[in-house]
């Protein structure tokens, strides 16, 4: 079950407050407008409403500049390379698949967020060092295009093993594990399923079965996947994609008119739990 909404919000707002203070404190000699700005580095899929940003500015006096830096893996890699001269004040979106890469390279400064005690201990993966604050969870899962399988009179796959079945050849698109947290989460899910001795053989089967690997989630879901609104516009022809359990309801939310049910579904036996963090 995801982190309670209020607990996650409390942790994020507490972090954001310190980021604002830090940004102000580092602005010696800068003009007033610059010193009142917080730069938030994040992944391309980060989305926040103007209303939330306006509320933050009203409460703190600071504006937020959002700097999107590719998929989460790319954002973390850039943070590691630029740690001596950071691109921003806070990194939002490092997750449990990438956390060790960031903390082992000294990207974050310790900070104990107010309200962190309200977040379950199972999500506080940095223990008592407090270099990052957990802000949300989500399940990385294979999604499928319902209309494709209905039109082909083909049952959707159900398991990891099914994805390597020849009847699903050339249907799956996933993300590069070096640059994408969903891609890495999917890899870790297969490792958990097939074990240390079996996951590499499984990926050989996936490769032989025509899996397509692209750089990030935006490209996979909004360009290659035939079931998403973006994929339809872009001519996507892959009816299976590594995405999130939350993707189908989002398809309903942003459709106009809204359908009675989601046009996409989730292969629940392929899910991997992701925990996202923010850090100073």
Q: Which of 114, 137, 160 is the last residue of a domain?
A: 137
Higher model confidence: residue 223 or residue 34? 223
Residue 105, both tokens: 């390279």
Domain identity same for 93 and 198: no
Cα Rg for the chain, rounded, in angstroms? Answer: 20
Domain identity same for 178 and 258: yes
Q: Which of 95, 117, 137 is the last residue of a domain?
A: 137
CA–CA–CA angle 15, 98, 231 (5° rounding): 95
Domain identity same for 132 and 232: no
Domain identity same for 175 and 246: yes
Q: Which of 109, 137, 165 is the last residue of a domain?
A: 137
Domain identity same for 19 and 114: yes
Instruction: Give domain status of residue 78, yes or no.
Output: yes
Domain identity same for 264 and 172: yes
Q: Tell me what the mean pLDDT of segment 118-138 comes to.
A: 94
Q: Provide the percentage of residues in the chain whose pLDDT is more than 70.
A: 88
Q: Where are the beta strands (DSSP E) in 146-259?
A: 172-175, 212-214, 240-244
The predicted structure's pLDDT at residue 59: 94
Q: Tell me what the mean pLDDT of segment 19-23 comes to.
A: 49
Higher model confidence: residue 9 or residue 170? 170
Q: Tell me what the mean pLDDT of segment 237-261 comes to.
A: 94
The predicted structure's pLDDT at residue 255: 87
Instruction: Give domain status of residue 280, yes or no.
Output: no
Per-residue pLDDT of 77-123, as tens digits, reads 999 999 999 999 999 999 999 999 999 999 999 999 999 999 999 99
pLDDT of 16 over the 70 cut? no
Name the residue with tokens 């999604």: 143
Number of compact structural domains in the chain: 2
Domain identity same for 130 and 194: no
Report yes or no: 35 and 23 within 8 Å, Cβ to Cβ: yes
**pLDDT averaged over the chain?**
88
Domain identity same for 34 and 109: yes
3-state DSSP helix/strand/coil % of the chain, to nearest 5: 40, 20, 35
Q: Tell me what the mean pLDDT of segment 13-27 comes to.
A: 48
Domain identity same for 145 and 130: no
Report yes or no: 66 and 40 within 8 Å, Cβ to Cβ: yes
Domain CATH number, residue 180: 3.40.190.10
Domain of residue 62 covers: 5-137
Look up residue 225 and give its DSSP letter.
B
Domain identity same for 110 and 157: no
Q: How far, in Å, CA of 72 to CA of 96, rounded?
A: 11
pTM: 0.81
């Amino acid at each position: 079950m995801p982190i309670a909404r209020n607990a996650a919000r409390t942790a994020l707002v507490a972090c954001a407050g310190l980021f604002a203070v830090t940004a102000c404190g580092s602005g010696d000699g800068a003009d007033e407008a610059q010193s009142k700005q917080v730069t938030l580095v994040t992944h391309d899929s980060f989305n926040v409403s103007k209303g939330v940003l306006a509320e933050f500015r009203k409460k703190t006096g600071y504006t937020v500049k959002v700097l999107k830096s590719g998929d989460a893996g790319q954002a973390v890699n850039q943070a590691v390379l630029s740690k001596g001269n950071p691109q921003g004040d806070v990194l939002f979106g490092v997750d449990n698949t990438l956390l060790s890469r960031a903390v082992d390279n000294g990207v974050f400064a310790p900070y104990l967020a107010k309200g962190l005690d309200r977040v379950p201990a199972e999500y506080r993966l940095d223990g008592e060092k407090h270099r990052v604050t957990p802000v949300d969870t989500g399940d990385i899962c294979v999604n499928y295009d319902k209309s494709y399988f209905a039109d082909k009179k083909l049952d959707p796959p159900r398991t990891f093993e099914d994805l390597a079945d020849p009847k699903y050849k050339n249907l799956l698109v996933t993300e590069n594990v070096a640059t994408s947290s969903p891609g890495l989460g999917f890899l870790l899910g297969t490792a958990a399923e097939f074990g240390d001795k079996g996951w590499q053989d499984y990926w050989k089967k996936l490769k032989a079965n025509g899996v397509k690997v692209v750089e990030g989630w935006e490209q996979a879901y909004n360009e290659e996947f035939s079931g998403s609104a973006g994929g339809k516009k872009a001519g996507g022809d892959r009816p299976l994609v590594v995405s999130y359990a939350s993707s189908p309801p989002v398809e309903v939310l942003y459709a106009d008119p809204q359908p009675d049910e989601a046009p996409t579904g989730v292969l629940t036996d392929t899910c991997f739990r992701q925990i996202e963090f923010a850090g100073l």
